[in-house]
Amino acid sequence: MSSPLPYDRIKTVLNTEIKYWVGFNNIPGIGRVRLGQLESYFGSLEPAWKATAGEMLRAGLDSPALRAIEQWRGRIDPDAEMEKLGKQHIQVLTCNDKDYPRRLKEIYDYPPVLYIKGAILPEDEWCLAVVGTRRATVYGKQVTQEMVTDLARGKITIVSGLARGIDTVAHRTALEVGGRTLAVLANGLDTVYPAENSNLAKSIMENGALISEYPLGAKPRAENFPRRNRILSGLSMGVLVTEADENSGAMITARDALEQNREVFAVPGSILSPASRGTNHIIQAGEAKLVNKYTDILEELNLTTVARQMEMSELLPETGIEKQLIQQLSAEPSHIDEVCQRSGLPTATVSSTLAMMELKGLVKQVGTMNYVLSREARQEYKVRVD
């Protein structure tokens, strides 16, 4: 993804569409669905921002939404909001932006606006959320450090929530081993919560990004944290819960991940420890895959050679023949002879192309000359055809 917009560049877009997204995002109760109604009816959000109450009713807004807009619109200056964002070097992405995280856009309740301080890079596509209890035990901290150390060294970006406990350990460990990490906040990016993580937040901005759906000035209210968790899981290929009680925020993130068709992993703990009741429960219920070592995660997500896959994807982008073969493959194994027959391509061409696709992480060989699409390739193909 692109680097954060510098202040002088942000000033050049003060009169463009993005400021109206920011304006509406400052109004409580105006989210993805209502913004979609306005954009669909008016064609863009600029005329919607200037519309009368009657026009908004005809656009499909209900009375509570209309009252919220009437109450707040006069207090919000979109240009001034963009000015404040620019001074703090905060990038704004709308859900229509080409740089909006692809995987996050797949979830049902994706945030229409994201505020980013730092930079989300293309390699952050390979990311895993690591979450857990704020009251981490020595065991929880140790397993988090060990898992994240190996994952980050394997070029996996670590996503977490900057909270005390496991989140803090996950972010800090990723940075200590030279990895990248993204922190999703439950408040505006002009506030760091908890305050003791201010220095950690600065380091994250230098080697990743702080991300929020909340506008400047939004405080870390209790109701924001469960909402924030869907973004943690939505950004990620999967969620690892290293230590958590049954009614913790980490369990909410795990449930969000399941609803979003993400993989959930959990580290087992002592049956005598309240801090492991949540992880033990989701393993026992079959909702999470038991993790003994970091390679359990990499193998499940087909990320055992992610560094090589990143390199190959950059050097050799997807070709027309690869796209053709992707259409012939699925999660069910197909023998190379079947692929040749369905595609109409020569055996030599199919064989060499599949070998290259395996290096790039697009396919996986399961048994002698039988191939399946990797999970990532299946998701990407689904996005393209839908």
3-state secondary structure 60-84: CCCHHHHHHHHHHHHHCCHHHHHHH
Q: Quick one: pLDDT at residue 16?
A: 77
Q: Quick one: pLDDT at residue 381?
A: 43
Helices (H) and strands (E) in the chain, counts: 20, 12
> Please, which residues have CB within 8 angstroms of residue 50's CB and are 6 or more apart in sequence?
none
Q: Quick one: pLDDT at residue 306?
A: 55
Hey, how many other C-beta atoms are within 10 angstroms of the C-beta on 195?
Answer: 8
| CA–CA distance, 385 with 110 (Å, rounded to integer) | 20
Element spanning 166, H or E: helix 166-176
Q: What 3-state class would DSSP assign to 364?
A: strand
Q: Quick one: pLDDT at residue 9?
A: 44
Task: Name the strands in the sheet holding 263-266, side by side, starting at the edge strand that comes first in the sequence.
Answer: 91-94, 113-118, 208-212, 181-184, 157-160, 127-132, 238-243, 263-266, 289-290
Q: Quick one: pLDDT at residue 352?
A: 82
Hey, how many other C-beta atoms are within 10 angstroms of the C-beta on 86?
Answer: 21
Question: Could you state, in chain order, the average pLDDT of each consecutive group of 10 residues for the chain (386 residues)?
Answer: 44 66 95 94 95 94 94 94 95 95 94 97 94 96 96 95 97 97 98 97 97 96 95 97 94 96 96 96 96 92 63 56 85 87 87 80 79 64 37
Q: What 3-state class would DSSP assign to 343?
A: helix
> Please, which residues have CB within 8 angstroms of residue 23's CB and are 6 or more apart in sequence?
45, 49, 73, 76, 78, 81
Structure tokens at 88: 């703090």
Contact call for residues 21 and 113 (beta carbons, < 8 A): yes
Q: Quick one: pLDDT at residue 11?
A: 41
